[in-house]
Structure 1
Amino acid sequence: MINSFEQNLRDFLSKPILYLPFFLACFLNLLLWLFLLVRIQPSAAWIPLHYNVNFGIDFLGPWLYIFLFPSAGFAVIVLNLILALSFQIKEVLLTRLLVWSAVIVQLFIILSLFFLALNSF
């Protein structure tokens, strides 16, 4: 089992079409963490966690909850990597979709936090 995982990981890292989106998703997630660490100041007050165009700020919470956004993005990256490693031999298209979907999820999280920061912080 360990050998097959190592072999799958080597195969994954030998194909730029697979590892480039993975590293791009990791880089975008790192940017999310850095943006929040620089932008958010610890406080006892609640901060906006969701912004809606129609209603404005519609969800508030403790400042630590804002870090759930990049945490969820990281969980998507890890889950998609595990699935991509297990499917890469049998399902090439599914593997590509998994690694690129992690990038798309990171972009959506970046957009949501950008507009939240633009309107709230």
Structure 2
Amino acid sequence: MSVFNAVGRSQEDFRSYFASHARAKWIALFSLTLVMLMVVLPLSRLLPIVRENPFIPLHYNIYLGIDGFGPWYRIFILPVLGLVMLVLNLSLASRFSEIERRTPLLPLGFHQGEPMLAQLVLWLTPILEVVLFAGVVFTLLLNL
């Protein structure tokens, strides 16, 4: 029973975090938009190419040129990784915010206010998503 209580409590923490932090909503929305673009762009660009050739270039090296081929669906590894990172970072940010809210005084003399660790994890999410999005775009450019 304690596992179910912990899951319910973490869902409440997650909801309350996004209800009380407007910046977190916008960052999560931006990151989710990038993840959706990482899925839609390959589908729109690669479906005509895949019918002719099921294997596509997936890696480029400046010394050797194209050095990695694979099945077309492997381009979706980056969007799946981005979605996993998004869910993990958002849940960690909400959990860190709850922990920091319960502590009266943070280390190094910082007073309670903006949850610093939660904000750090939250701001790392769109940075990671932009890097993954660039990887998807460069892989698509390699195939055109």
Normalization by structure 1: what TM-score?
0.86
Q: Does 1:49 align with 2:55?
A: no
Identity of aligned residues (%): 31
State the shift of 1:13 in Å: 3.0
Q: Does 1:39 align with 2:62?
A: no
Q: Match of 1:98?
A: 121
State the shift of 1:4 in Å: 4.9
Aligned length: 121
Please tell me the root mean square deviation across aligned C-alpha atoms, in Å. 1.9
CA distance in structure 2 between the aligned counterparts of 1:103 and 1:54, rounded to whole angstroms: 31
CA distance in structure 1 between the aligned counterparts of 2:14 and 2:74, rounded to whole angstroms: 35
Gaps of 5+ in 2: 1-5, 101-114
The equivalent position to 1:64 in structure 2, one of 62, 66, 73, is: 73
Gaps of 5+ in 1: none
State the shift of 1:3 in Å: 4.0
Between structure 1 and structure 2, the one with the greater Rg is 2
Cα deviation digits, residues 28-59 of structure 1 (max 9, x gap): 11111110110112445311112233332222
Cα pair 2:55 2:71 within 8 Å, conserved: yes
Distance change in 2, residues 1:52/1:113 (3 Å): farther
State the shift of 1:89 in Å: 2.5
CA distance in structure 1 between the aligned counterparts of 2:16 and 2:95, rounded to whole angstroms: 12
